[in-house]
Amino acid sequence: MSQAETRAFEADVARLLHLMVHSVYSSPDVFLRELISNAADACEKLRQMALTDPGLTGGDTLAIEIVPDPDAGRLTISDNGVGMTRDELIDHLGTMARSGTEKFRQALEEKDQGKALIGQFGVGFYSAFMVATEVSVVSRAAGSSETWRWTSDGSGEFTIAPAEEGPERGTRVELTLRDDHKEYAQAATIERLVRHHSAHVPVPIKLLAGEETRELVDGTALWAKPKSEISDEEYTEFYRFTAGAFDDPALTVHARVEGRQEYTCLLFVPSMQPFDLFDPDRKGRIKLYVRRVFITDDAQLLPPYLRFVRGLVDSEDLPLNLSREMLQTNPTLTQMKSALARRVLTEMRKLADTDEETYAKVWDAFGAVLKEGIYEDAERRDELFALTRFRSTTHPEGGRKLARYVEDMKPNQTAIYYAVGDDQARLAASPHLEGFKARDVEVLLLSDPVDAFWVRTALGFEGKPFKSVTQGSADLEQIPVTDKRHVPDSAKASDIATLSALIKDTLGERVSEVKTSTRLATSPACLVASDFGYDLQLEKIVGRQGQ
Ligand code: ADP
Ligand code: MG
């Protein structure tokens, strides 16, 4: 990275910190959950590395230790996990780890929306500066003999220096608490927060208060417990911890699968959009465990159109030493992926059938992503159609199912009609809809960017093709007019022919044809696309891309 880039980024982080620290909306309590989650990740990473190099752990139990010091107004969180080298300290703590920095900052700055959004983000390591005037990270990477100290007051600069003393392995995060946050140096506060936010971390957590050491969390994996022993609150807490989220899960899927394959999945559908939902890499973050050992969160266990699902899968059959290639080619994993996608869709369908209100939230947040599946995953198209909800001319409030559309089709109606555009209001007012309104024929109003694509590849639903209202002659003649006010005056055929010829003459090459049609009721003329070419909206998109 060039120096200029680094500087710009630091300014960005500094601004971000300022906004975060001064935001009354994110509770500062969050910092503890974030630091514990980093410590737990570090232990899990080392546990995984030790599978091939047992010397790395020296056989000791991996654990997290928290030491509050009320007299000094300090709080220390240590782990004996992988630790960080000097370069890693600079790279990992000097930049915002997650890809969404810029979007996060924008969301914070967009006053009103930002307030609603802020609660959704896992803020990571930097949240420590919400409560601390100074943060010091002393770390020794597993297998290294050097210890380094990274120190910052959060203003965008940090120092890095060799440390005189420090953990034998792993990381110690030392916080000098702000005057108004000294409560975090109290053992009772820490105990309450850990029990509340981090009770099911898969690594033990100890609290050292004075002379006494107490285990607050025993490190048993929540997902390994029977469902009947887990409360809704525990699921929610675990979801928030693993996803770095603040909302409630809209759907929790906890299942143990036995038979040809054995695994447990604990998956969550959030109720709010995470900020990286539309990142171009379209990656999911489901964690893969093998027999309680964390392996990777980059196995892409679900298809990209389910990337909003959070949680984990713990396999009993996979080998512990899964290589990169095996993640792509291992047949057990391939079967498991397919079964997982099916299960998620089935459970979402159940939610849609039993709790419309909650499902409506899921659809609002993730509908545009799910629809990507309609053209990407032909095999599951029907399952996806069953989940899809629409706004239409007769149901402008949304929530319309395709099955209902088909049930309510008019006599002689053979296609499912849709209008695509950028904007719902403009769509609904389009003159292309007049002829349909006059016949009380429902038209789907599609305004997500992905809509222009799937309607062209989806072929149809229950044998009915999708047809754009802007395309060719929309076979409206066959459908009886219900609203008599819209019947156009009967004009002499010869007059119409003369008028059409005049218009064609005037417009010349700019149009391919001038036709009379029944699609309009009150407007005199409109532009339509040909039956077989691009729909008008798609033409616009393709035109913009200069193709
Ligand atoms: P995230 O956890 O989402 O990656 P964070 O901002 O919380 O983002 O942490 C940034 C990075 O710093 C981590 O990805 C990790 O590489 C490193 N890190 C933070 N804390 C620790 C720790 N206790 N031990 C080892 N690495 C750590
Ligand atoms: Mg983190």
Distance CA 468, CA 452 (A): 10
Give the residue-averaged pLDDT of 512-522. 73
- Pull the structure tokens for residue 459: 């072929």
Which residues, judged by CB distance below 6 Å to any ligand atom, belong to the binding site of ligand 1? Answer: 34, 38-39, 42, 79, 81-84, 92-93, 97-98, 124-125, 171
Q: Where are the alpha helices (DSSP H) in 110-150?
A: 111-118
Higher pLDDT, 47 or 486: 47
- 146 in Cβ contact with 86 (< 8 Å): yes
d(CA 254, CA 251): 10
DSSP string, 493-514: HHHHHHHHHHHHHHHGGG-S--
Assess contact for 259 and 87: CB atoms under 8 A: no
CA distance 371 to 463: 19
Q: Assess contact for 387 and 345: CB atoms under 8 A.
A: yes
pLDDT of residue 485: 59
What does the alpha-carbon distance between residue 450 and residue 193 come to, in Å, rounded to a whole number?
Answer: 42
Distances in Å between the Cα of 383 and the Cα atoms of 286, 349, 406, 510, 519 are 22, 8, 16, 42, 33
Q: What is the percentage of the chain residues whose pLDDT exceeds 70?
A: 83
Q: Is 309 annotated as a binding residue?
A: no
DSSP secondary structure letters along 395-422 = -TT--B-HHHHHHTPPTT--SEEEEE-S
Amino acid at 93: L
Q: Please indicate if the annotation marks 472 as binding a ligand.
A: no
pLDDT(491) > 80: no
Note whether 218 and 77 are within 8 A (CB). Answer: no
pTM of the model: 0.78
Instruction: Kindly list the distances between the CA atom of residue 164 and the CA atoms of 69, 72, 147, 149, 161, in Å, as whole numbers in the listed order.
Output: 21, 21, 8, 9, 9
pLDDT band per the 50, 70, 90 thresholds, residue 157: confident
- pLDDT tens for each residue of 31-75: 898 899 899 999 999 998 888 888 998 888 999 999 999 999 999
113-to-42, 120, 198, 543 alpha-carbon distances in Å: 34, 12, 29, 32
Position 360 pLDDT exceeds 90: yes
Q: Which residue has the higher pLDDT, 245 or 238?
A: 238
What digits encode the pLDDT tens for the residues 492-510? 677 777 888 888 888 888 8
> CB–CB of 167/139 below 8 Å?
yes
Across the range 240-265, mean pLDDT stands at 92
Residue 3 — pLDDT band, cuts 50, 70, 90? very low
Candidate from 37, 41, 93 with most ligand 1 atoms within 8 A of CB, to mutate: 41
> Taking a C-beta distance cutoff of 8 angstroms, is the pair 18, 163 a contact?
no
ipTM for the whole complex: 0.99
120 is in an annotated binding site: yes
Q: Write down the residue that tokens 């009721």 correspond to.
A: 521
Instruction: Indicate the pLDDT class of residue 20, thresholds 50, 70 and 90.
Output: low
Centre of ligand 1 from the C-alpha of residue 38, in Å:
5
Contact 194, 205 (CB under 8 A): yes
> How much is the mean pLDDT over the chain?
85
